[in-house]
Structure 1
């Protein structure tokens, strides 16, 4: 039998009206009471019902899409394909910025508004933990959380992609190589750095600590980190950036430092976002089929929404190296 607000009120020692006000942050309850009621509701697994939910199907036909930095063009490319797939299946996608739901107790995805959740960022694993605890169908896209039992995820082959970049740079003759890595707390940041480092090591090349920068996946972060690495290690002739956004930042840093790309510095990215293909950047990168990544993850989530017996599925998507104008042999 489903837990009701009466059950929460009885356990919390308050009235049903107080439970309603506390869970909706309405006036008439103290902060202490709100915290107490939320704690009890969480312990009981209580989820308020929504009037917008279909009475015949018990579904809202709405899917929450949790994204990170909204100015990052990677998310624009990913979300466009997600929304297309949702629309084809008769669902509405609602964007939720991860900073708006950093407190799982008050996250809107737990009030019954959504049938499922797509996580394109994993900056706070507590959110995924709470989603799983409440039995809400979800799927990770592009990111994973280590040490979890099998969950639904669609991710690129990060290690192979990084290895392809390492092999390219070695083929060109580079030995003074740097990396602009994403946050070590993300699977994309850690796996791409590990794959690249291991591939270089197999050829007897070690990354100097000063040649490795770690930063958020933003253009500004990529620019600042690349400037720091290139300043600390002026002999570097190549930079591998853990995604295209970082690579675009690195290109700006190279311009600021008067380092010509590709004649004096090779820059390689990862993802092949639409901006990477513009002649202004002409970025050598590792291509991920973002459309296939997003659509397959979305379709799988909707299948699980409609049939909860379907098991979680982890899919690793193929990647390929795309050679454009930002790579060359090291200067002699």
Structure 2
């Protein structure tokens, strides 16, 4: 016969509700009583019922993570530390994958099976955050956000990172500069381009549209865009890519076209994924702490679930740094 919380209560000499509260580490129960209940539970090999806990606390201890682009090598490097941090905080992670935020079925998010949601691939025009707000579902943005005031987000200083690249290129003597940026409806694409353009303007360097491409943060975007940029009226000597995956696509396109990197063309990425440092690429890029990006998102969401987050929103921004490797050079 299965051991129940009533058996633990009899052995510990307390009431059954006290057992439930003690095993949830409820601070209304004294430390001595919590310890006594834990020892009784261990002696009986009692495992609390997750279903019963959910009914009593209205908490499932489950967090949903929405990712609409599992083919992108960026996301495994943020999902793994997110999982580990949520686990350390006492939550289980559920990965929800669809082609767009709007394709995420409401019943997956809003049927009280989740305590909160991490939005990892949000776009500025997504309707999902407003849906979650209406239902009172706590959520945070990871990496991308909507740009609204009052959001809860763990992000990178994308504008600052773009400025770093532009200043470096200007110092290296480049004047014919191109950009392969992310989609305009992503804050990562928009803000990296904005910082890059502003710093170029400060240096007196223009960025005409015939030296600009935009697209998804995918290998194909870099591979397909670079040949067109190389056919511009003035061939660029440097290209800034929206992320490392796009940059690797540009590197392969340059190789296919017989363009030498970095002798003929400087290529710079963003994110510093582990693959960027591989000897086959040795990609010059912009680094930020991928693991901390995820960890602080997990902590922020749990604080929001617990009611401890700033009611006016919190935006946690990680700094960036320039990482010189082998794909950049001074323009002669």
Do the two structures share a fold, i.e. TM-score over 0.5?
yes
Equivalent position of 1:91 in the other structure: 91
Closer/same/farther in 2, CA of residues 327 and 214 from structure 1, 3 Å limit: same
Q: Which sits farther off after the overlay, 208-217 or 50-59? A: 50-59
Equivalent position of 2:316 in the other structure: 315
Counting only pairs closer than 5 Å after superposition, residues 20-169 of structure 1 correspond to structure 2 as: 54-99=54-99, 102-103=102-103, 106-123=106-123, 125-146=126-147, 148-169=148-169
Aligned CA RMSD, in angstroms, stands at: 1.9
1:207 match: secondary structure: coil
Displacement of 1:322 after TM fit?
Answer: 0.6
8 Å CA contact retained: 1:143, 1:155? yes
8 Å CA contact retained: 1:183, 1:216? yes
1:268-310 CA distance string (max 9 Å, x none): 0111111111111111111010111110111110122123665
Equivalent position of 2:298 in the other structure: 298
Q: Which sits farther off after the overlay, 103-112 or 197-206? A: 103-112
Equivalent position of 1:176 in the other structure: 176
5+ long unaligned stretches in structure 1? 1-49
Displacement of 1:149 after TM fit?
Answer: 3.4
2:66 match: secondary structure: strand
Equivalent position of 1:45 in the other structure: none
Q: Which sits farther off after the overlay, 106-115 or 183-192? A: 106-115
Q: Which sits farther off after the overlay, 104-113 or 320-329? A: 104-113
- Find the aligned partners of 1:150 and 1:269 in 2 and give their Cα distance: 30
Q: What TM-score, normalized to structure 1? A: 0.80
1:54-112 CA distance string (max 9 Å, x none): 12221111101111311111101010110010111121111112426524663511111
- Find the aligned partners of 1:58 and 1:129 in 2 and give their Cα distance: 23
Q: What TM-score, normalized to structure 2? A: 0.80
- Find the aligned partners of 1:97 and 1:54 in 2 and give their Cα distance: 25
- Find the aligned partners of 1:100 and 1:194 in 2 and give their Cα distance: 25
Displacement of 1:204 after TM fit?
Answer: 1.0
Closer/same/farther in 2, CA of residues 101 and 150 from structure 1, 3 Å limit: closer
- Find the aligned partners of 2:275 and 2:52 in 1 and give their Cα distance: 39
Closer/same/farther in 2, CA of residues 99 and 249 from structure 1, 3 Å limit: same
2:231 match: secondary structure: helix
8 Å CA contact retained: 1:61, 1:91? yes
- Find the aligned partners of 1:327 and 1:285 in 2 and give their Cα distance: 9
- Find the aligned partners of 1:236 and 1:100 in 2 and give their Cα distance: 34
Equivalent position of 1:38 in the other structure: none
- Find the aligned partners of 1:208 and 1:253 in 2 and give their Cα distance: 21
Closer/same/farther in 2, CA of residues 289 and 309 from structure 1, 3 Å limit: closer
8 Å CA contact retained: 1:64, 1:117? yes
8 Å CA contact retained: 2:180, 2:213? yes
Equivalent position of 1:274 in the other structure: 274
2:272 match: secondary structure: coil
2:214 is the alignment partner of 1:214? yes
8 Å CA contact retained: 1:52, 1:60? no
- Find the aligned partners of 1:280 and 1:52 in 2 and give their Cα distance: 53
Closer/same/farther in 2, CA of residues 294 and 233 from structure 1, 3 Å limit: farther
2:57 match: secondary structure: coil
8 Å CA contact retained: 1:143, 1:186? yes
1:179-237 CA distance string (max 9 Å, x none): 00000111111111111111111111101211000111100122111222122356211
